[in-house]
Chains A and B, each alone.
Chain A
Amino acid sequence: MDTGFIIEKFILVAVIFGISLVVAMYSTYAERKVAAYLQDRLGPDRAGPFGILQPLADGVKMFMKEEIIPTSSNKWLFIIGPGLALLCACIGTAVIPWGSPMEIGGKMVPLQVADINVGVLYIFGVVSLGVYGVMIGGWASNNKYSLLSAIRAASQNISYEIAMGLSIIALLLMTNTLSLKTIVEQQHGLNWNVWYQPLGFLIFMVCSFAETNRAPFDLPECETELIGGYHTEYSSMKLGFYLFAEYINMFVSSAVMATLYFGGYNYPGMDSMAVWLGPTWAPLFGTAVFFAKIVFFIFFFMWVRWTIPRFRYDQLMNLGWKGLIPLAIANIIITGVVIAIIEKF
């Protein structure tokens, strides 16, 4: 049983890792396409049909480019930075329930790597670790702009983590659990958390924009002020790692948003579908629905990026500390009062 368990988990980890890398790869392509279409252009269309091989070409380019490590940089930290960023981005996928348990050869296989009972906390931990990659890289570059950008990234992530955590507390008051699997199972059918926590979702979404350093909160890589931001000194695949980490972060936070607020793999009419498709294919269909939600959120990230201009740094801090945190606290109080009233009567 033990070896079967290990093999099963190993395959699951490999598949999820592969999928998140492919999604990140094609997010770069999708980003350019979405940007192009929103600006009445065509975007990349030369490599393969519709430019579908563009990410591969970009990857080859990244690997082939000359690798430059500045002489005045801290060499080891300079190398560790992008690796850490990518690692922290990838391990977030471990606790996300990708589908309901699936029957393979008379055995129920959970489509989740680890159902730990502090899943939400784990996600938060990983997300806060993610900023270390940026900070280490920015500091090790020994460049004023990189350092400034690293400082910005750190303070931005710390500020928005507070509001993010507070917006989650209101959700946890409802769900009474930190396990992502249980949270998803509670949202059966169309009983999604977003109907009960619209304000919480809005705060969470804004904060995840800030956590992933995406526009309009992409101040750490603000070209007009900081050249390239924390990756000014990076070249070749180390730069590629940073860019990749950003897209994997986007993928993970889309998955977390879909899991916590939009019902994960649940969809209306799932019970009749489960009878019709059987215990093997119905969970896979649920996974497909989950990925559709993720793709929508990734598109939303891009849509916002090509619409809204970047915040100024003081505006960013104002919004975080004076806007989102009080709102999140008010949301907790309202949720708590409503739950208390419902339980009383």
Chain B
Amino acid sequence: MRPSKLERLRDTALPWLVPAVILLGWQAAVSSGLVSNRFMPAPLDVVRAGWEAGRTGELWTNLGVSTLRALAGFVVGGGIGFALGLANGLSRLSERLTDTSVQMVRNVPHLSLIPLVILWFGIGEEAKLFLVALGVFFPIYANTLHGIRSVDPGLVEMGRVYGMSRTELFTRVVLPGALPSIFVGLRYALGIMWLTLIVAETISASSGLGYMAMQAREFMLVDVVVLAILIYAALGKLADALTRQLERACLAWNPAYRSA
């Protein structure tokens, strides 16, 4: 029996019921004075703050600055991590030379370097770029290396016997085989990218979303603080959704990634 229109509507609406109730309860709690709006702004205040920041253009400038920083750090750190992961996955010599060092550095929490980074770069763009790149490097490196290691040796042997050149072996067997693992690294890295940027911008910046939130705190604009937090959440979700799409397109052969 096919579900009726009503049933389908119910199935779509049901997951949104709990968030809606929470939002309504929240709004009611603040409006009735149960919770002071000095600590927690009502949802409508947050919307108003967003509208206001959007109107003055402040929001877009800060959003643009933060996104650019995130992407620049991601490209630099991810690029180096990917290249080194490939090199170490394909060459024993390269691995022997660098892997131990990388594993040692990996145990240093990159955010603990903030004081040092401020000493080196001040609070300029370099500081943020460095931290994001460093944070993104490790998951991409480790997962690329792992992906190449876990390529089925039987397939590589098959490629060799069937006369594939080294380039063909890489592009047709090794890289596609490593791709699922590389994507895992990519999604990890995106999470770390936002996290690092938030921390760096909150501690030392003169523009960006984190800076916007810290400024708002100075003036007790709680609604703007909450707005900044929500925007970070939305950006993280957006990055994840984009990766998912990319995964689906690249890994269509894998039953685990095929869309229903």
Do A and B interact? no
